[in-house]
Structure 1
Amino acid sequence: MSPSPRATRRTVGITEVARHAGVSPGTVSNVLNRPERVAATTRRKVEAAIAELDYVRNSSGSSLRSGRSGSVGLLVLDVTNPFFTEVARGVEEEAATAGLAVVLLNSAEQQDRQRRNLRLLAEQRAAGAVVMPVDDDLSDLLWLARQGTAWVALDRGDVSEEVGCSVSVDNHAGGLAAGRHLIGLGHERITFLTGPFAIEQVRRRHEGLREACAEAHLDPDEAVRVVEQPQLNADHGERAVDAVLAGGPRRRPQAVFCANDQLALGLMKGLGRRGIRVPEDISVVGYDNVDFADLVHPGLTSVAQPKFDLGRSAMRLLVSELNDPGHRHERAWFTPELVVRGSTAARRT
């Protein structure tokens, strides 16, 4: 039996590249790390040798010398949520420009998993991390900073610039826009379907909805009912149907504002199985405007977040902290926009 390619492959070193190109190992090192110091003709010879020998640089040595790797972590609340796919694309694009690799991690909205993942990044000497915290407790991030790992809080608008950088959408404004839209359609009984209130984003969206009611001279305590679920996903949206419909037809909400699109799409599925029509019987609004919000029928009215720009902005702040000795912590804000589709309609009298 012939040996496998893995068993027979020989690692090409920098000395062999230098011999092949007819230069010193120091010149090869300069081409890899400080190419501006090498004459163009010599640089092309070395690059040709690298390509011919299929040389792959070993970054572990420089990582050991600097104490940091060339990777950064991206820790999200739910890796299955398509919202984070677009956020990750923005993070990765900006990281690639800075020569950094991105490691995706998932907290599953659990504090202990967040803590384990951040400890793993510290153990691996990650250069930094973009983190969406699971709740208001920032002690894990402060611990990470004490280990020498820079971080940026993603989708958290209440992080002080004295503590660290943050990037967020104005979630209060998003809830306000959703509430004004539903009230403008004549809906006066609105259920807010959400995940855990420990998540700062959902609290701000709820506050915005209540403010819209107060603007319209509706008592928020009477007009808004909260249905809280353990997680912000489609399964829990579908399971929430009984709680949303509790109280019988006379108390049934005229509209439901969901804290994210996953909950909204799950709820719409559950309502459909009960024979309850959207929007004829109940209007539904989501949050995030994920790609497939426009692919369901009816299309989901949703509060759009600039997902790609969120990720790119967070990574820019992290790169600034890593590379700029004069870096000062910043708080970046984005404004959401309501995208109206077929899941909302005027209340039928």
Structure 2
Amino acid sequence: MSSTEGTNQPVGINDVAARAGVSPGTVSNVLNRPERVAEPTRRRVERAVQELDYVRNSSGRSLRSGRSDSVGLLVLDVTNPFFAEVARGVEDTAGEEGLAVVLLNSAEQDARQRRSMRLLAEQRAAGAVIMPVDSDTEDLLWLRKQGVPGVLLDIGEVPGETACSVSVDNHAGGMAAGRHLINLGHERITYLGGPADLEQCRTRLEGLRAAVAEAGSDPGEAVRVIRTAQLNAESGEKAVEEVLAGGPRRRPQAVFCTNDQLAVGVLKGMGERGLSVPGDLSVVGYDDVDLAALVHPGLTTVGQPKYELGRAAMQLLLSELGDPGHRHERLTFAPQLVVRGSTAAYRT
């Protein structure tokens, strides 16, 4: 019986060695360099590992190599289902290489982003996939100086090509939403978005304005911008009061929200006021999360390949970790308009 069986102490490498009748060094070789151990001995050790339910401690190995077997995933809002699907793509790809993913949440705050970066450096993370709070890459450069490479996700431009990036063409997504609403006859459109320093919000608005200009209208007159502090449903619901300000003759004919969370909040706020979507107001979201197809009416939205974004970002990170000659790449996916019941032709 090993010294830890029947106790709350974890099984150690010495216990495995005693059960298999070998030295601790032999157990270490079986776990890390099995080709060095004769097959009969290796089988005895593997059987002992299974019988004792031994869980290897990777901390010592991490200290020796200077790098852990985990990667960080820093997202803007852990409650947003968009990021959950991205995280699944990152985790599935990392798992194929034996890496664990540590999820961190900046909550769209610079200070929390910096704390998360420091934590990744302290833990000697192998690397990180990062959705930055803004286009400033200073935190990423600092992390790289600590020996932790990172891939930027959901950001198009990386100054100085200091890192790989993966994004969706947000300008094209904004244009797709704008063209859809214009084709339905909507001439007064409100853009409901978050902080202007978020690249996603800024470029989606630019795409909307480009679609309005393409149609021969003045974006300055046709597009009204309302900013929200957060990109969640609660903020969308609260913003409805401002969206509707000015009465029926001045309120917009359509609202383009910078993500589905805001759009779902707008749907709720409209319903609470006895107004209908799309009868009184057409609503377009962005992301095409699962909830977009479940709400009533179904939400017209600009879809992003969420799982593929996460998978591509992790593949780029793995390439950098495994290839000393790695060259930074910028991958851009195309968005796709998904039309559902929340938009309809404008009724004069």
**Normalized against structure 2, the TM-score is what?**
0.95
Alignment of structure 1 residues 96-175 onto 2, 5 Å: 96-160=95-159, 162-175=161-174
Determine if the alignment matches structure 1 residue 342 to structure 2 residue 341. Answer: yes
Aligned residues between the structures: 345
Paired residues of 2:189 and 2:223 also in contact (CA < 8 A): yes
1:240 counterpart SS class: helix
Q: Deviations over 1:272-307 (max 9, x none)?
A: 111111001110000010111111110001111111
The aligned counterpart of 1:183 is 182
Determine if the alignment matches structure 1 residue 203 to structure 2 residue 202. Answer: yes
The aligned counterpart of 1:262 is 261
Q: Go from structure 1 to structure 2 and tell me whether the alpha carbon gap of 1:39 and 1:77 turns closer, same or farther (over 3 Å shift).
A: same
1:166 counterpart SS class: strand
The aligned counterpart of 2:10 is 11
Paired residues of 1:161 and 1:331 also in contact (CA < 8 A): no
When the two chains are superposed, the root-mean-square deviation of aligned CA atoms in Å is 1.8
Q: Go from structure 1 to structure 2 and tell me whether the alpha carbon gap of 1:10 and 1:259 turns closer, same or farther (over 3 Å shift).
A: same
Residues of 2 paired with 1:8 and 1:23: CA distance?
Answer: 23
The aligned counterpart of 1:92 is 91
Q: Deviations over 1:138-188 (max 9, x none)?
A: 111111111111111110011146311111011011101111111111111
The aligned counterpart of 2:288 is 289
Q: State the shift of 1:28 in Å.
A: 2.7
Gaps spanning 5+ residues in structure 2: where? none
Residues of 1 paired with 2:35 and 2:212: CA distance?
Answer: 62
Paired residues of 1:161 and 1:329 also in contact (CA < 8 A): no
Paired residues of 2:71 and 2:128 also in contact (CA < 8 A): yes
Determine if the alignment matches structure 1 residue 240 to structure 2 residue 256. Answer: no
Gaps spanning 5+ residues in structure 1: where? none
Residues of 2 paired with 1:71 and 1:194: CA distance?
Answer: 34
Residues of 1 paired with 2:78 and 2:235: CA distance?
Answer: 16
Residues of 2 paired with 1:232 and 1:11: CA distance?
Answer: 44
Residues of 1 paired with 2:38 and 2:254: CA distance?
Answer: 68
Q: Deviations over 1:221-261 (max 9, x none)?
A: 11111011111000110010111112221111111000000
The aligned counterpart of 2:61 is 62
Q: State the shift of 1:13 in Å.
A: 2.6
Q: Deviations over 1:1-28 (max 9, x none)?
A: xxxx999223333233234334454443
1:179 counterpart SS class: helix
The aligned counterpart of 1:253 is 252
Could you tell me which amino acid in structure 1 is paired with residue 326 of structure 2? H
Residues of 2 paired with 1:48 and 1:142: CA distance?
Answer: 46
Residues of 1 paired with 2:37 and 2:289: CA distance?
Answer: 47
Paired residues of 1:63 and 1:70 also in contact (CA < 8 A): yes
Q: Go from structure 1 to structure 2 and tell me whether the alpha carbon gap of 1:41 and 1:187 turns closer, same or farther (over 3 Å shift).
A: farther
